[in-house]
Every structure is written in C-alpha cells, then in structure tokens.
C-alpha cells in the first residue's frame, strides 16, 4: 500500500464495504466513470479490492459520451486496462436532450445527472451488471442532506446502498465516508487522468449547493470535524425526539 492518503482511503472504503455489505460473491459491478477525480478514485480502489478480496466479483467502468476527444478516451482505456478493468464507452444523446427538455430554473447539472443515471441503469442491464457504483463522497452527502433540510423540508441524504429506480439494479457508494480533500490529494498523487467535462455548463453548480459548500466550510473552519458529526448524526436519529 502506498501513501498515508491511500492507506486512509483504503481503510475508509474497505470498512464501509464490509459494514454495509456493499459487495457480495458473484456481483458484477459497473462504475459510472465521468473521468473526474471521484469516479477515478472509485475505480482504483474497487480494482485493488477485487485483487485481494476473499470473494470473487467483476468490476468494469462505463462512460457516457458527452463530447470527449478521442485522445481522452484512449487515455481512459489505457488507464483502466492497467487497472485490469473492462471499459464500456456508451454513445448518448445527452446534449440534445438537455437542449430539448431542460426547463427554466432547473439546474443543468442536476438534470444532466438524472439523465446520466438513467443511461447508466440501461447500460448496466444491457451489459449484465447487477450493481452500479457511484463516486459520491462525504461532502456530497452532507451538502445534499442540508439542502434537503433547508430547501425541501425533508431529512434525506444519500444511502451507501439503494435499490435503483429501475427496480432491478442496486446502487452503491463506496466512497461515502471519504472526505473530498482526501480524494483530491489521492488523485494528484496517483496522477489519475482526470478529464474536465466537455459541457460548458458543467461547473455551474446550483446556487443552493454553493451556499451549502460555503456554510460547511465556515463551520468546519471554526469547529473541525463538523462534516463527520453531521454524517454520524444521520445514523443516530432518535425518532421519539423528532417532531
């Protein structure tokens, strides 16, 4: 095992997989690979666990074509080959669907994420995978939880394992207890071939999410460990003391 960062992430991912039984004997797992830092990190650790796990399971990656260059895709294929992972590059009409169906006031990234999820479900069924792995991390969880509480009046985060909307696949999030700063550091150490999404609107996160990011940053600066406390609280809801 490599650096302290890699060891820490390896421990967090392994512990969550074990505690929540995210992977079972004979599973066929498809990672949604956007080629960003999170999904690359997920690919790396799942490929490593596959080599040393006491159970047998298959893992591959799938990328939906949103305008990546041939060079970017070739580099992605090469890196996954070095990891020992199969790769599916899936053609999709995402850009056209965004132009045709995006309604005013709707976050482009949120709508695009829903469309990509639907295509990923379809691909998993088509290629014979029973589980889909996504690279959501601790910061994603905390931001989503607070957004739902503040703006939608519901206590709802991101589960580490969930029956997918299609009723067939299961969705798993092995990085859910990993802080984004660790993932950033790890991806830099490993020099993973991160590709910026070709969509010009990709980095325009919703104003609500940006507010949550800033709020958490301010709280964390004054009280280190706030992210972890919020995530831990979601596991210990005392129903008798709720409204």
pLDDT of residue 177: 97
Give the pLDDT confidence of 76-108 residue by residue, as tens digits.
Answer: 999 999 999 999 998 776 666 666 666 666 666
Q: Of 45-49, 51-55, 116-120, 155-159, where does mean pLDDT reach its minimum?
A: 116-120
d(CA 128, CA 107): 32
pLDDT band for position 58 (50/70/90)?
very high
Longest dimension (CA), the chain: 57
pLDDT of residue 101: 62
d(CA 109, CA 228): 26
Give the pLDDT confidence of 191-239 residue by residue, as tens digits.
Answer: 999 987 766 555 555 688 889 999 999 999 999 999 999 999 999 999 8
- Sign for the CA dihedral angle at 61, 40, 95, 69 comes to negative
Contact 183, 9 (CB under 8 A): yes
Q: Of 132-136, 196-200, 238-242, where does mean pLDDT reach its minimum?
A: 196-200
Q: 144 φ, ψ to 5°?
A: -65, -45
Average pLDDT of the segment spanning 118-128: 90
d(CA 63, CA 152): 31
- For 46, the 3-state DSSP assignment is helix
* Claim: this prediction has a pTM higher than 0.85: yes
Q: Which CATH architecture fits 4-233? A: 3-Layer(aba) Sandwich (3.40)
d(CA 183, CA 72): 21
Written as six digits, the tokens of 30 are: 């498809």
pLDDT of residue 204: 53
What number of other Cβ atoms are within 10 A of residue 173's Cβ? 24
pLDDT band for position 113 (50/70/90)?
confident
**Sheet arrangement for strand 161-163:** 86-90, 58-64, 28-32, 131-133, 170-172, 161-163
Q: Of 64-78, 105-119, 123-137, 178-192, where does mean pLDDT reach its minimum?
A: 105-119
Of residues 4, 2, 9, the one with CA closest to residue 178: 9
| 26, pLDDT greater than 80 | yes
Q: What percent of the chain has pLDDT over 90?
A: 71
Mean pLDDT estimate for the chain: 89
The single residue listed with the structure tokens 């949550």 is 212
| 175, pLDDT greater than 70 | yes
Average pLDDT of the segment spanning 46-59: 95
State which of 30-34, 109-113, 198-202 shows the largest mean pLDDT.
30-34
Of residues 20, 55, 58, the one with CA closest to residue 173: 20
Measured N-to-C along each axis, helices 226-233 and 207-222 cross at an angle, to the nearest 10 degrees, of 110
């Amino acid at each position: 095992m490599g650096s302290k960062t890699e060891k820490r992430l390896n421990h967090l991912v392994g512990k969550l997989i074990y505690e929540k039984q995210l992977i079972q004997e004979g599973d066929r797992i498809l990672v949604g690979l956007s080629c960003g830092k999170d999904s690359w990190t997920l690919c790396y650790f799942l490929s490593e666990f596959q080599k040393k796990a006491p159970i047998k399971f298959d893992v591959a990656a799938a990328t939906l074509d949103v305008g990546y260059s041939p060079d970017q895709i070739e580099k992605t294929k090469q890196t996954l080959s070095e990891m020992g992972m199969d790769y599916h590059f899936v053609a999709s009409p995402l850009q056209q669907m965004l132009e045709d169906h995006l309604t005013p006031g709707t976050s482009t990234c949120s709508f695009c994420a829903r469309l990509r999820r639907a295509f990923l479900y379809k691909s998993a069924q088509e290629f014979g995978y029973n589980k889909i792995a996504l690279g959501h991390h601790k910061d994603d969880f905390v931001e989503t939880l607070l957004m739902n509480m503040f703006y939608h009046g519901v206590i709802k985060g991101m589960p580490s394992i969930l029956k997918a909307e299609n009723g067939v696949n299961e969705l798993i999030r092995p990085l859910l207890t990993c802080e984004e700063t660790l993932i950033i550091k790890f991806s830099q150490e490993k020099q993973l071939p991160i590709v910026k999404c070709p969509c010009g609107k990709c980095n325009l996160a919703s104003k609500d999410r940006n507010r949550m990011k800033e709020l958490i940053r301010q709280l964390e600066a004054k009280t280190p460990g706030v992210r972890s406390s919020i995530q831990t609280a979601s596991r210990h809801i005392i129903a008798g003391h709720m409204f």
